[in-house]
Structure 1
Amino acid sequence: MPIKLLKASSILWMLILVACSNGTEEGYVNHHTTNRVEEGKMLRANRYLNKKDMLVVEGYIERHGVRMALSDYGFYYRCVEKGGGPKIKEGSVVLYAYKIHLIDGTPLDSSGTELAQIIVDKSGGIAGLHEGLKLFSEGDSAQLIFTPHLAYGLLGDGEKIPSRATLVYDIRIKSVQ
C-alpha cells in the first residue's frame, strides 16, 4: 500500500509541476512595457491639453486686443504700467496688490485693501507667480496668464479655484526689499 501511495503522490507532484510551468508565458504582464505604453498615452494627453490651453490664452489675448509676451517659463505677461523701482530677484520680499480671475472673466480672489507678501522663490504660491514677479520692478503694474500646469493644476485648490483653471493675475507691485 505505501508503494502505491508513493507512486500516486509522485505522479500528483509531477502533474502539479508540469501544470505550473508549462513553458509558456501566458498571463505574464511586462509591467515595464505596460508602464511605458501608459506613460506615452499620458504624455500625449498632456501635450494635447497644454496646446489646447495655450490656444485659449491666445484667443483671450486677441479678443482683448493686448500685446503679451510668452515667457521662457511658459506663461504670457505684459507690463501695464512701468514703475522704475528696484528689480525683483530671488529672495526679494515683495508686497503687491492683486486680482485673480478665470480666463472667462469670473472673479476669483483679490487682495482687497490689504497687500499680499511673497518671498520670491522661497515662500508658497504658484510657481508661475514667482517666475513672473522676477520680470518686473517696484511700482510696475502687470498682467500674467497662467495655464493650469503653472497654476493649480488638474485639481484646483479645492476651494475657489476649479480644476484645470487658467488664471489671469492683475498685479501692482508696491514694495520690493
Structure 2
Amino acid sequence: MKKVCLLAVCFVFLFQAVAFAETKIGVFDAKKVMQDCLYGKDVRAKLDAKFGARGEQLKKEREALEKLKVQIESKAFDEKTMQDKIVEIRRRSRDWTEDFQVYQKSIQRDQNQLGKPVLQKLEKVVMEFCTANKFSIAFDKNTPGLAFIADGLDISADIIKELDKMKKSGK
C-alpha cells in the first residue's frame, strides 16, 4: 500500500513538472501600450487638438484664482473691497469647478469613443502575438492580484511593435 501511494505521489509530481514546462506566461502594460503605440499617439493628438485650448484657458483661470486668493490672504484690500473679493472668488471658483468637470467629462467621453477601436485592435494583436509565440497566458500588468512579475515576462514592447506594424500597414 505504501508503494502504491509513493508511486502515485511520484506521478503527480512528474506530471506537474511537465505541465509547468509547457506553460509560457506573458505580461503587458495595456496603459503603456495605449500611450506608446501609433494608434494611441493619434488618439492623444486628436484629443489635444480638440481640448488643448480649453485646457489652457482653464489653467489660466485657475492661476488667476490662486493670485486672487493670495491677495485676499495678504489682506491687501479695505474691508468692503475684501468682502467683494471673497464673494468674487467663491463665484469664480464655483464656475471654474463646474467648467472643469464638464471639460473632464468631455475628454473622457471622446477618449472612450476614440480609444474603443484601439482597444479592439490591442485585443486582436495580443491574441495573435500570444498564439504565434506560444504563450499560454497573458495578463495586463495593472490587473488587481498580480503582486509580482519577473523580469523578462513583460511583452509590452513587442505588443507595441505589432500594433505599429498594423497601423503602418493601414489596418
TM-score, normalization by structure 2: 0.34
TM-score, normalization by structure 1: 0.33
Higher relative contact order (CA 8 A, sep 6+): 2
Greater fraction of residues in helix: 2
